[in-house]
């Protein structure tokens, strides 16, 4: 797999979705317009056709941040809102870097890492199952064997008790017959 870098230094394979090619990376989504000339296109990412900050300096001036990124062209700063680019004031830039609101990207990165790890574990388990070395202990199979042992033990015990009771009843009936015949 080749490393394709979108505007703002975003890796196309880890920050974008091939199944949703119209959705830009979250850290540079404000470098692209929606419905305007600077739409995001997954296939153009990393090429000279990348339309980030189109008309505002091109893809090389896209600066990623947790708020969606912005375009820096000379001493001016721009952010895409809808189909147009809007100029950002110095106070807007300061608000972007305040401590508030920067946890969203961290949560997204953690979720991606957890999903990636879960996918790796699932793939490894499937590989082992294919090779016949199932790492997942099947409790039901052990339980059935234990159940058979318990059932066999109980069955044997009931059989022996039944034989014993039958023998005792036989002895009592023999005694009763002998007493009636006055042999004993």
E strands in 2-58:
5-6, 10-11
Cα within 13 Å of Cα(79), Cβ side? 16
CA distances in angstroms from 167 to 161, 173, 174, 179, 181, listed in the order given: 10, 10, 10, 18, 21
Strands 76-81 and 5-6, sheet pairing: unpaired
pLDDT tens by residue, 58-110: 667 888 887 888 888 888 888 888 888 888 888 888 877 775 555 566 677 77
Out of 1-5, 36-40, 43-47, 77-81, least confident range: 1-5
pLDDT tens by residue, 118-144: 888 899 888 888 888 877 766 555 555
Residue 14: CB partners within 8 Å, gap ≥ 6?
A: 112
Phi, psi values for residue 46, rounded to 5°: 85, 0
CA distances in angstroms from 94 to 35, 72, 98, 130, 151, listed in the order given: 28, 14, 6, 55, 74
pLDDT at 169 over 80: yes
Which residue in 96, 6, 105, 106 sits closest to 46, CA to CA?
6
Q: 0.85 exceeded by the pTM?
A: no
- Alpha-carbon distance 27 to 139, whole Å? 46
- Edge-to-edge strands of the sheet including 76-81? 62-63, 70-73, 76-81, 84-87
């Amino acid at each position: 797999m080749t490393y394709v870098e979108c505007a703002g230094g975003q890796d196309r394979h880890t920050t974008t979705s091939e199944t949703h090619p119209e959705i830009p990376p979250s850290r540079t989504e404000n470098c692209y317009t929606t419905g305007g000339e600077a739409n995001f296109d997954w296939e153009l990412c990393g090429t000279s056709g990348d339309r980030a900050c189109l008309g505002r300096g091109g893809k090389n001036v896209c600066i990623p941040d947790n708020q969606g990124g912005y375009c820096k062209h000379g001493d001016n700063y721009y952010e895409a809102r809808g189909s147009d680019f809007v100029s950002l004031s110095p106070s807007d830039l300061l608000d972007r870097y305040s401590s508030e609101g920067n946890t969203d990207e961290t949560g997204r990165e953690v979720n991606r890492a957890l999903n990636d790890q879960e996918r790796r574990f699932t793939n490894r388990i499937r590989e082992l199952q294919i090779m016949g070395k199932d790492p997942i202990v099947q409790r039901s199979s052990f339980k059935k064997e234990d159940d058979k042992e318990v059932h066999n033990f109980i069955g044997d015990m009931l059989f022996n008790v039944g034989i014993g009771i039958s023998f005792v009843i036989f002895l009592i009936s023999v005694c009763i017959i002998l007493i009636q015949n006055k042999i004993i």
